Chains A and B, each alone.
Chain A
Amino acid sequence: MENDRQGAAPSADVQRRLYELMVLMKAADDRLSKGIASGELQCVYWPPRGQEAIAAAVGVCLRTDDQLVTTYRGLHDLIGKGVPLVEIYGEMLGRQVGASRGKGGTMHIARPESGVAMSTGIVGAGPPVAVGLAMAAQRKGIDRVTVVSFGDGATNTGSFHEAANMAALWDLPVVLLCQNNLYGEMTPVEHTMKVETIAERAQAYGMPGVRVDGNDPLAMVAALEEAVDRARSGGGPTLLDCVTFRFRGHYFGDPMAYIPAEQMAAAQLADPVPSFRAALASTGICSEHELEELDQAAVAAVEEALATVLAAEPASADELSRDVYADPTNCPV
């Protein structure tokens, strides 16, 4: 099934919001990247630069109480779901202002107030957790939807298969959001799967599978809205195969020697942030002046958050034993 922006385009306000989110995600990535590269900032980072349209759609299609489970490559998803930048940067840089008080780091960001249940560094670990969250909502009769974001590589794991099967079997309110950036670490998708698309895997479980242009925020909103509505109304899960690219490789500092130059050049032409900016200008939804204001506001928000984080205290030593046991003095052995 191909999704090609069926239905009406989102309102001008929603389109503006999509760009606002995308440009904030890009500015947050640019500043971190510059800081890590020059030695100013010390942290590990798996950059989602290039995948912003997918996360912006998550931002406009979900309610705050809807749940998100994401991965180490989650900066954009977390921004989309409304986690404050101070808490994201704070966690990455090990400060007390971080979402997990600085002891979780880049791969372990959770924020229940924003509906972010978990981030994980274990490839394929998200879908079973999302199935549990969706099952809890179904049993309690809460109309909450869970979206789980993962990569193309994760769809080759056993845990993905188990989760997809259960989600379909029990018509659980979950959306399997695959951010298909065409590589798992240094290996291209065609070296790790016989099928051509990730979407077609859905057939085996008995759920709809939709391939979407993950660089087009309007196509993303159309596909995600449909999947979220299906989940919320009891229609069960959907697998979205959102085709995109990651411009900075697997980890920050990846020399990317394995990416063919022509592929990189083509991907850059389809870079979702400048492409959507140009589309908003040409459809007249935003004036050049408005777009410039949004660009500047994003950079200013990022600088302000970083200054707050750099002035904050590092994670304290008593975090080591906190949150480990509910009551460490009365722990059954």
Chain B
Amino acid sequence: MSEFTIRIPRASVAISEATLVEQLVEEGGHVNEGEPLFAIATEKVETEIAAGASGTVHWTSELETVYEVGAEIGVIQAED
């Protein structure tokens, strides 16, 4: 079963960290590639991040926590 690691994206050139402000899919819920998956805040700008793959979402992160760009915050497990 293939697994896609969910990471904090470099949402803009100059950021090094971001706050995870919202998980838009609940633990164990299904997401399709391209749908909104979580939201991060950087320098007072909030950005919704789309899923990079389809499957079941498992979070390994806490809300309102600051993570470095590239930090692992969950996985998407393919369902087939």
* Residues of chain A at the chain B interface (Cβ within 8 Å): 34-40, 42-45, 251-255
B52 pairs with A35, CB closer than 8 A? yes
Contact of B9 among A36, A251, A254, A255 (CB under 8 A): A36
- Least CB distance from A134 to B in Å reads 32
- Least CB distance from B71 to A in Å reads 9
In this assembly, does B69 line the interface, its C-beta being within 8 Å of a C-beta of chain A?
yes
In this assembly, does B25 line the interface, its C-beta being within 8 Å of a C-beta of chain A?
no
- Least CB distance from B77 to A in Å reads 15
B12 pairs with A38, CB closer than 8 A? no
Cα of A180 to Cα of B52 in the assembled complex, Å? 33
A37 pairs with B13, CB closer than 8 A? no
Interface size range of chain B in the complex: 10 to 19
A-B CB contact pairs (8 Å), 9 listed: A38-B7, A38-B49, A38-B50, A38-B52, A39-B70, A251-B12, A252-B13, A253-B12, A254-B12
- Least CB distance from A44 to B in Å reads 5
Secondary structure call for the A interface: loop
Which residues of chain A have C-beta atoms less than 8 A from B51's C-beta?
Answer: 38
A253 pairs with B52, CB closer than 8 A? no
Which residues of chain A have C-beta atoms less than 8 A from B10's C-beta?
Answer: 36, 39, 42-44, 252-253
B13 pairs with A38, CB closer than 8 A? no
> Quick one: closest B residue to A251, CB to CB?
B13
Contact of B13 among A40, A253, A255 (CB under 8 A): A253
Cα of A251 to Cα of B15 in the assembled complex, Å? 12
In this assembly, does B8 line the interface, its C-beta being within 8 Å of a C-beta of chain A?
yes
Which residues of chain B have C-beta atoms less than 8 A from A35's C-beta?
Answer: 52
Q: A34-B52, A35-B52, A255-B45 are in contact. Are A40 and B4 (CB under 8 A)?
A: yes
Which residues of chain A have C-beta atoms less than 8 A from B70's C-beta?
Answer: 39, 42
Starting from the known contacts A36-B10, A39-B7, A42-B10, 8 additional A-B residue pairs (CB-CB under 8 Å) come to A38-B37, A38-B52, A40-B52, A42-B69, A44-B10, A252-B12, A253-B12, A253-B13
In this assembly, does B21 line the interface, its C-beta being within 8 Å of a C-beta of chain A?
no
In this assembly, does B11 line the interface, its C-beta being within 8 Å of a C-beta of chain A?
yes
> Quick one: closest B residue to A40, CB to CB?
B52
In this assembly, does B57 line the interface, its C-beta being within 8 Å of a C-beta of chain A?
no
> Quick one: closest A residue to B70, CB to CB?
A42
Q: What 4 A-B pairs are tightest by C-beta distance, nearest first?
A: A38-B52, A39-B7, A253-B12, A39-B9
Chain A CB count within 10 A is highest, among B8, B45, B52, B69, for: B52
